[in-house]
């Protein structure tokens, strides 16, 4: 069975940056399971996997625009410490959910703290980076009607309701 939209796919993978440093890997863990065509993984990797079959192996480099986007200085801002109501101690590197300009939610990371001013960054940590994947397809199956309706995998390796 070939990978196509509305199929559940399990992959073993290693993700490295341009310097060859491992950023993430499924080595020693369960494969990553996702619903193909539902936007569960970055577009560039999903496109590269389309048409592949169980046992296929590939190495693919994904440019920022097909991964987490270009880095945007516009997503960095300084806000007052009072915006973190209920958080006793702020530290650089902490992440929070915040309202995005489009009305949705985004994750912001604290980049700097200077007195009562906190600099936050709304860029994904991998924004602006070329990502290199080594992938082996472990399994491919047709998705259930419920998985398609919900837009994600259920059961083994997937979302549990």
Assign 157 a pLDDT band (cuts: 50, 70, 90): low
Overall pTM > 0.95: no
- Say if CB 9 and CB 40 are below 8 A apart: no
Q: Which residues pair with 141 in a beta bridge?
A: 8
pLDDT of residue 88: 86
149: tokens are 């309706």
Residue bearing tokens 């902490």: 94
Q: What does the pLDDT average to over 28-52?
A: 97
Q: Which residues contact 67 (CB under 8 A, 6 or more apart)?
A: 42, 43, 44, 45, 126, 129, 130, 131
CATH class of 7-68+127-150: alpha beta
Q: Domain ranges in the chain?
A: 7-68+127-150, 73-121
Q: How confident is the model at residue 86 (pLDDT cuts 50, 70, 90)?
A: confident
Pick 73-121's CATH classification: 2.40.10.330, 3.60.150.10, 3.30.420.40, 2.60.200.20. Answer: 2.40.10.330
Q: CA 158 → CA 31, 90, 152, 154, distances in Å?
A: 11, 33, 7, 5
Out of 68-82, 95-109, 143-157, the most confident range is 68-82
Interstrand relation of 7-16 and 57-62 (parallel, antiparallel or unpaired): unpaired
């Amino acid at each position: 069975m070939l990978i196509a939209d509305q199929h559940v796919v399990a992959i073993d993978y290693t993700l490295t940056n341009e310097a060859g440093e491992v950023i993430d890997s499924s080595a020693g863990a369960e494969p990553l399971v996702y619903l193909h065509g539902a936007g569960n993984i970055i577009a560039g990797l999903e496109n590269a996997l389309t048409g592949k079959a169980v046992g296929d192996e590939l190495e693919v480099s994904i440019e920022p625009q097909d991964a987490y986007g270009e880095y945007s200085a516009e997503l960095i801002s300084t806000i007052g410490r009072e915006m973190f109501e209920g958080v006793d101690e702020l530290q650089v590197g902490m992440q929070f959910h915040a309202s995005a300009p489009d009305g949705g939610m985004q994750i912001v990371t604290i980049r700097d703290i200077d007195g009562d001013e906190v600099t936050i960054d709304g860029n994904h940590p991998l924004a602006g980076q070329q990502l290199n994947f080594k992938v082996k397809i472990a399994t491919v199956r047709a998705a259930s009607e419920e998985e398609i309706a919900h837009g994600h995998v259920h059961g083994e390796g997937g979302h549990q309701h």
